[in-house]
Amino acid sequence: MGQQHDIYYVPSKSQWPIVAAVVMFLTVFGAAHWLNAEPGEAGFGKTVITIGAIGVLGMFFGWFHSVIKESLAGMYNPQVDTSFRMGMMWFIFSEVMFFGAFFGALFYIRAFSVPWLGGHGHGVLTHQFLYDTYSGAWGAAGGNGPLHIGGAFSTVPPWGLPLLNTLILLTSSVTVTIAHHALRGGHRGRILLFLGLTVLLGASFLFFQAHEYMEAYKELNLTLHSGVYGSTFFMLTGFHGLHVTLGTIMLAVIWLRVLKGHFSKDHHFGFEAVAWYWHFVDVVWLCLFLFVYIL
Amino acid sequence: MAHEATHDQHDDHHHAPQGFFQRWVMSTNHKDIGTLYLIFSLTMFFIGGSFAMVIRAELFKPGLQLVQPYFFNEMTTMHALVMIFGAIMPAFVGLGNWMIPMMVGAPDMALPRMNNLSFWILPFAFALLLSTLFLPGGSQAGGWTMYPPLSLQSSSLAYTVFAIHLMGISSIMGAINIIATILNMRAPGMDLLKMPVFVWSWLITAFLLIAVMPVLAGAVTMLLTDKYFGTSFFNPHGGGDPVLYQHVFWFFGHPEVYIMILPAFGIISEVIPTFSRKPIFGYKAMVFAIASIAFLSFIVWAHHMFAVGLPMGAEIFFMYATMLIAVPTGVKVFNWVATMWGGSLSFETPMLFAIAFVILFTIGGFSGLMLALVPADFQYHDTYFVVAHFHYVLVTGAAFAIMSATYYWMPKWTGHMYNEFWGKVHFWCSVVFVNVLFFPQHFLGLAGMPRRIPDYNVAFADFNMISSIGGFLFGASQLIFLGVIVHCAFFSKKKATDRVWEGARGLEWTLSSPPPHHSFTVPPVVHDEELAHGHVND
């Protein structure tokens, strides 16, 4: 805690924050314009999103480029390293709360809103006057609400692809940990092997997830429109899939950086940050497997 | 290697980067970014304030005179969004940016580039939000809470949602930066329980921000997918429930209310000891009270929803949990009064605002207690009583604390004293007219006048006219504030001393006025007797 009396690195000026603000703005402005356009109207939304998204990629590339350069130049002392660690930890905490909102919605829907519509507890009158044939069951029997929004559907059986994906992610958490130990022990070949395996496992998770989505849409008629079951299913697994995608890209970047020899035994915050993120994504999946697929 | 870093640092230490663009847009300096935040906040304060003037002008007389009802609803909605996310929150972040590194003995914020990004997201986010006023179909008009299904009818929902996402990203990054600064950047000897109360209040506020801003992002994302992607979160036909939105929103919303008041508590806990020339009474109790309030803020959200038809058990739980907040808040008010008790008081402008805060915030706290009672809330819900309540805590609470902080620290920032006479004129005008503005609204609410409606029963005419007159004069009084700030920043001839105030204690007062570009390049040696709370034994 402030024990180091050498100098805490404060960059003198940087163009990246303002670039980041502009490209983030372009992305969401384009998205808003696109969503708001009347059907058939030729808006400029998609063009602006594309420019913004390319800009976001370029910004990440440039910003990380300068950070890596500074890191390799030895400008970050242990105190700076601690700031980065705290930043990553609290960022992951904010992500936990983001998923918390959607899990909270799922629990509320399953514990209150669907049973109430089916006449349990305090919903007696709603049930009697509006939806008297609705049972308030979850899953294929009533998860799409009293008006069966989206039509009849079947749920994804948990013991097929989802179980496989669970095993894949659990294995990948083990491989990334082996790679971390190898990094601390200085075994370069072993790091590259196990980190590479982690990237492949992440990619295969995404492949199976995509396959599962296609099956759900084509054969099970389970879509984003399948009432609140479809809403919670696709929003939770979709946001998780997005995080796995980001995590896999991050792992791949770290693999390249290991290849370039950017990390040392005791100076490898970038590696650890990505490993933390990967474990976080893994834990979210375990909750999903339990609450979305099994229960 | 280390030489380069030192060189970079060295450059910065003596002078700010040259060139307007480089200094302000590419900044990594906590003081410059703090100044940007404060200027942005002041701008938003006047934009949001002009919306309030439209509201009060329409309500001056019964009947529809000036604006269309839809435009009126846009004004109530945008007034709240702009004041909450644009004026109050950025003002606190700006004050934190300026003061926290100086108070804990740090060279700068822990993550200076991210600090700049947190700020620069905001002008874009508010451009997006305010642009909806000019879109076909207009802006969000269902209130700042954006309850579905009403909010889903707004044709510009996507713009509002993305603007809120951007504000959330900005707040989360700002909060992460503040936590890392406080936990990692303190000078040796600046123990946690020797930190100024303002720093403590921000540490806890930052935790609240990181915990709840993502939840708001989740709530508005569900609105977005319900409107544009066919999900059914809030649609009972598909098994959803509009009340679900209210739960998720207020899980964010209640801690958000404390995000807007805890830093104010911190400010008042700095100002009152200085002008009482006494250390604060019960330092540890003050810190624990802030922490207790923050904890309780997570388990009281449904008191915003008593009238929605909650199960009895939930209403009773949330009622008692809400009333419990009065205990730590009472401790704070008691300690502020006990700090003044027996002190040798002087009444400069910051102290006047602080004393007004203690009295008027307490009135807002008491009306909050009335609203916490379920049977009473059935009467008061969505009336002007609620409007009066939260304006007492947010205007005479949060905004008065920000004004107090501005007068208190402005000599430190600019190196010049503000004009004490005009500061006092600003104070007396504000404190009189704010009560003319909001006090009658209690009576209007108790008599049954609903919120967010452009017209009203003629029975409410007199009090509304009084309230509107108070509103116009309160709004005009803020032009004095602007004048005092501009004068102090650019024209004041009276130099400020390093300590500025006779009774001021703490590391920030050991620096020159204005302070060097980087506060403490080398960690200062902390002498306990220099600190406001150097000897914590109670």
Q: Which of A47, A65, A50, A56 is nearest to A22 (CA)?
A: A56
B-contacting residues in A 223-242 (Cβ below 8 Å): 224-225, 227-232, 234-235
pLDDT tens figures, A27-45: 999 999 999 887 777 678 8
Give Cα A7 to chain centroid, integer Å: 36
B451 is catalytic: yes
Q: Is the CB of B312 inside 8 Å of chain A's CB atoms?
A: no
Does residue A2 have a pLDDT over 50? no
A-contacting residues in B 92-121 (Cβ below 8 Å): 105-108, 110-114, 116-117, 120-121
Cα–Cα distance between A258 and A268 in angstroms, integer?
A: 10
Q: What is the mean pLDDT of residues B429-434?
A: 98
pLDDT tens figures, B397-414: 999 999 999 999 999 999
Contact criterion met (CB below 8 Å) for B143 and B76: yes
Q: What is the pTM of this model?
A: 0.95
Cross-chain Cβ contact B183/A86 below 8 Å = yes
* Nearest chain A residue to B206, by CA: A90
* Crossing angle between the packed helical segments B283-297 and B242-259, to the nearest 10 degrees: 170
What is the pLDDT, as a whole number, of residue A120? 87
B56 is catalytic: no
- Chain B positions touching A29 (Cβ under 8 A) are 128, 162
Cα–Cα distance between B241 and A290 in angstroms, integer?
A: 23
Q: How close A66 comes to chain B (CA, Å)?
A: 12
Cα–Cα distance between B470 and B476 in angstroms, integer?
A: 10
A14 → closest Cβ in B4, B28, B177: B28
Residue B315: φ, ψ to 5°: -60, -40
Q: Is the CB of A125 inside 8 Å of chain B's CB atoms?
A: no
- Chain B positions touching A1 (Cβ under 8 A) are 183-184, 186, 188
Structure tokens given for B71: 């435009």
Q: How close B447 comes to chain A (CA, Å)?
A: 31
B-contacting residues in A 184-213 (Cβ below 8 Å): none
- Angle at alpha carbon of residue B168, lines to B162 and B174, rounded to 5°: 140
Query: What residues are paired with B450 via a beta bridge?
Result: B383
Q: Is the CB of B311 inside 8 Å of chain A's CB atoms?
A: yes
- Chain A positions touching B25 (Cβ under 8 A) are 18
Cα–Cα distance between A37 and B397 in angstroms, integer?
A: 42
HEC assignment per residue over B85-133: HHHHHHHHHHHHHHHHHHHHCCCCCCCHHHHHHHHHHHHHHHHHHHHHH
**What is chain B's mean pLDDT, rounded?**
94
pLDDT tens figures, B381-399: 999 999 999 999 999 999 9
Question: SS3 for B373?
Answer: coil
At position B373, the amino acid (one-letter code) is L
pLDDT tens figures, B152-163: 998 899 999 999
CB atoms < 10 A from the CB of A170, how many?
13
HEC assignment per residue over B462-499: HHHHHHHHHHHHHHHHHHHHHHHHHHHHHHCCCECCCC
Q: Which of B326, B165, B276 is nearest to A25 (CA)?
A: B165
Structure tokens given for B325: 């907040």
- Residue holding tokens 């709004």? B475
Using CA atoms, how far residue B482 sits from B45, B137, B403, B487, B490, in Å, is 11, 34, 11, 9, 12
Contact criterion met (CB below 8 Å) for B307 and B382: yes
Angular region, B139: left φ>0, alpha ψ -120 to 50, beta rest: beta
Q: How close A73 comes to chain B (CA, Å)?
A: 6
Annotated catalytic residue within B30, B31, B194, B254: B254
* Nearest chain A residue to B122, by CA: A21
Q: How close A188 comes to chain B (CA, Å)?
A: 25
- Chain B positions touching A153 (Cβ under 8 A) are none
What is the pLDDT, as a whole number, of residue B536? 60
Cα–Cα distance between B131 and B121 in angstroms, integer?
A: 15
Q: Which of B202, B174, B167 is nearest to B86 (CA)?
A: B167
What is the pLDDT, as a whole number, of residue A237? 97
Does residue B332 have a pLDDT over 80? yes
Cα–Cα distance between B48 and B78 in angstroms, integer?
A: 7
Q: Which of B109, B45, B466 is nearest to A80 (CA)?
A: B109
Using CA atoms, how far residue B137 sits from A176, B132, B133, B401, in Å, is 51, 9, 9, 37
Cα–Cα distance between B85 and B220 in angstroms, integer?
A: 15
A11 → closest Cβ in B28, B165, B188: B28
Q: What is the mean pLDDT of residues B77-101?
A: 97
Lowest mean pLDDT among A34-38, B193-197, B263-267, B310-314: A34-38
Q: Is the CB of B303 inside 8 Å of chain A's CB atoms?
A: no
Cα–Cα distance between B465 and B454 in angstroms, integer?
A: 14
Q: How close B326 comes to chain A (CA, Å)?
A: 27
Q: How close B357 comes to chain A (CA, Å)?
A: 32
Q: Which of B231, B244, B251, B517 to mutate to test the interface with A (most CBs of A within 10 A)?
A: B231
**Any residues with CB less than 8 A from the CB of A112 and at least 6 apart, and which?**
A121, B241
Assign A129 a pLDDT band (cuts: 50, 70, 90).
confident
Q: Which of A6, A81, A83 to mutate to test the interface with B (most CBs of B within 10 A)?
A: A83
Q: What is the mean pLDDT of residues B10-37?
A: 80
Q: What is the mean pLDDT of residues A89-106?
A: 98
Torsion of CA A210, A211, A213, A214, to 10 degrees: 120
Does residue B440 have a pLDDT over 90? yes
Q: What is the mean pLDDT of residues B529-534?
A: 78
CB atoms < 10 A from the CB of B76, how many?
22
What is the pLDDT, as a whole number, of residue B4? 37
- Residue holding tokens 């039509």? A151
A113 → closest Cβ in B184, B239, B522: B239
Residue B527: φ, ψ to 5°: -100, 125
Contact criterion met (CB below 8 Å) for B241 and A109: yes
Torsion of CA B180, B183, B187, B189, to 10 degrees: 180
Assign A1 a pLDDT band (cuts: 50, 70, 90).
very low
Q: Using alpha carbons only, how large is chain A's radius of gyration in Å?
A: 23
Annotated catalytic residue within B451, B452, B487, B499: B451
Q: Is the CB of A25 inside 8 Å of chain B's CB atoms?
A: yes
At position B366, the amino acid (one-letter code) is F
What is the pLDDT, as a whole number, of residue A4? 43
What is the pLDDT, as a whole number, of residue B8? 42
Cross-chain Cβ contact A28/B229 below 8 Å = no
Helix (H) or strand (E) holding A168, with range, is helix A161-185
What is the pLDDT, as a whole number, of residue B7? 38
Q: Which of A4, A8, A224 to mutate to test the interface with B (most CBs of B within 10 A)?
A: A8
- Chain B positions touching A228 (Cβ under 8 A) are 231-233, 235, 238-240
Q: Which of A6, A77, A90 to mutate to test the interface with B (most CBs of B within 10 A)?
A: A90
pLDDT tens figures, B24-71: 999 999 999 999 999 999 999 999 999 999 999 999 999 999 999 999
Q: How close A27 comes to chain B (CA, Å)?
A: 10
Contact criterion met (CB below 8 Å) for A53 and A27: yes
B171 is catalytic: yes
B329 is catalytic: yes
pLDDT tens figures, B184-213: 999 998 999 999 999 999 999 999 999 999
pLDDT tens figures, A268-294: 999 999 999 999 999 999 999 999 999
Q: Which of A1, A9, A10, A243 to mutate to test the interface with B (most CBs of B within 10 A)?
A: A10
- Chain A positions touching B108 (Cβ under 8 A) are 8, 10
Q: Is the CB of B243 inside 8 Å of chain A's CB atoms?
A: yes
Cα–Cα distance between A124 and A127 in angstroms, integer?
A: 5
Question: SS3 for B239?
Answer: coil
- Chain B positions touching A240 (Cβ under 8 A) are none
Cross-chain Cβ contact A149/B228 below 8 Å = no
Cα–Cα distance between B196 and B430 in angstroms, integer?
A: 28
